[in-house]
Amino acid sequence: NPSQSTKQDMAGLKVVVSAGPTREYLDPVRFISNPSSGKMGFAVAQVAASRGAEVVLVSGPVNMSTPTGVRRRDVESALDMQRAVEEAAAAADLVVMTAAIADYRAADLKTEKEAKGGETKTIELVKNPDILAGLGEKKGERVLVGFAMETHAGVERAADKARRKNADFILLNYPTQEGTAFGSDDNQVTLVRADGSSQPWPRLSKLEVARRLLDEALEIHRQRVG
Ligand code: CTP
Ligand code: CA
């Protein structure tokens, strides 16, 4: 049992992790989504559980098995994910949002499959709720962590997101980083705080990124709660 050799420094803590993509259906057989593998979030859930935390993992559609000791809630759309995360987060000490949530969904969900039409087609989309920002509005003592992938001005944009969403920190990465893209086992992230301070981490396995993320979150939790 690996948990016996791991320090149980998260015992008694309730952690919620979101992972994977969301699917925004246009009709019963078509959806908008993205290539998120869920690996980062599953790594966070696995490590938190092995350190003794009570973990709820809210996952979009991914091809991953549930880590030992983790309670998993499967969802599809951003609205489903919002419901599941908010329910689990009510009693949580730490929420880690690794999910790649679609920013928009179809304005009107067709109940029947639509046949193709002319040479061009316009789909009207409406904005999805920002789950992390919603948690940030009634934050209490909870520690909130986000992820952001940026193509440019990463630190500035991530710090701005941390401020807007009232997150304690954001782990930033770039889609162009070799071997760390969607689906990779490694990740190269920069820790970015709302005050704009940042700290690049070396390229690490997603499990090691998860360990360091949880170390940082635990430190903030201890300072806040005592
Ligand atoms: N997030 C969320 N709800 C959304 C969109 C994003 O909770 N509807 C969370 C993500 O899980 C992530 C963080 O917010 O932890 C940053 O995601 P990102 O897509 O970078 O933020 P956006 O505000 O959507 O910014 P952008 O316009 O750059 O996509
Ligand atoms: Ca987004």
3-state secondary structure 8-65: CCCCCCEEEEEECECCEEEECCEEECCCCCCHHHHHHHHHHHHCCCEEEEEECCCCCC
Between the CA of 130 and the centroid of ligand 1 the distance, in Å, is 7
Decide: 106 and 128 in contact? Cβ < 8 Å. Answer: no
Identify the pLDDT of residue 178.
65
Task: Give residue ranges with CB within 6 A of ligand 1.
Answer: 78, 97, 99, 101, 103, 128, 130-132, 146-148, 161
Q: What is the mean predicted confidence (pLDDT) over 133-143?
A: 97
Among 44, 147, 161, the mutation site with the greatest number of ligand 1 atoms within 8 A of its Cβ is 161
Identify the pLDDT of residue 184.
86
pLDDT at 1 over 60: no
Q: What structural domains and CATH numbers belong to the chain?
A: 2-225 (3.40.50.10300)
- pLDDT per residue as tens digits for the range 69-119: 999 999 999 999 999 999 999 999 999 999 999 999 999 999 999 899 999
pLDDT at 51 over 60: yes
Among 59, 95, 103, the mutation site with the greatest number of ligand 1 atoms within 8 A of its Cβ is 103
Q: What is the mean predicted confidence (pLDDT) over 137-159?
A: 96
Helix axis angle, 206-225 to 39-50, nearest 10°: 60
Q: What is the mean predicted confidence (pLDDT) over 33-61?
A: 97
Q: Which of 157, 132, 128 is nearest to 144 (CA)?
A: 132
Residues at the binding site are 103, 113, 129-132, 147, 161, 165
Identify the pLDDT of residue 177.
64
pLDDT at 24 over 60: yes
Determine how β-strand 30-32 pairs with β-strand 24-27.
antiparallel
Give residue 182's pLDDT band: very low, low, confident or very high (50, 70, 90). Answer: confident
Identify whether 34 is a catalytic site residue: yes
Q: What is the mean predicted confidence (pLDDT) over 40-51?
A: 98
Phi, psi of 36, deg, nearest 5: -55, 130
DSSP letters for the chain: -GGGTS--TTTT-EEEEEESB--EEEETTEEE-----SHHHHHHHHHHHHTT-EEEEEE-S-S-PPPTTEEEEE--SHHHHHHHHHHHHTT-SEEEE--B--SEEESS--SSPPPP-SS-----EEEPP-HHHHHHHT-TT-EEEEEEE-SSSHHHHHHHHHHHHT-SEEEEE-TTSTT-STT-SEE--EEEETTS-EEEPPPEEHHHHHHHHHHHHHHHHHHHH-
Between the CA of 13 and the centroid of ligand 1 the distance, in Å, is 25
Model confidence, pTM: 0.96
Q: What is the mean predicted confidence (pLDDT) over 123-137?
A: 98
Between the CA of 63 and the centroid of ligand 2 the distance, in Å, is 22
Residues at the binding site for CTP are 103, 113, 129-132, 147, 161, 165
Nearest CA to ligand 1 atom 21: 148
Q: Write the single-letter amino acid at 77.
A: S
Share of the chain above pLDDT 70, in %: 96
Average pLDDT, the chain: 94
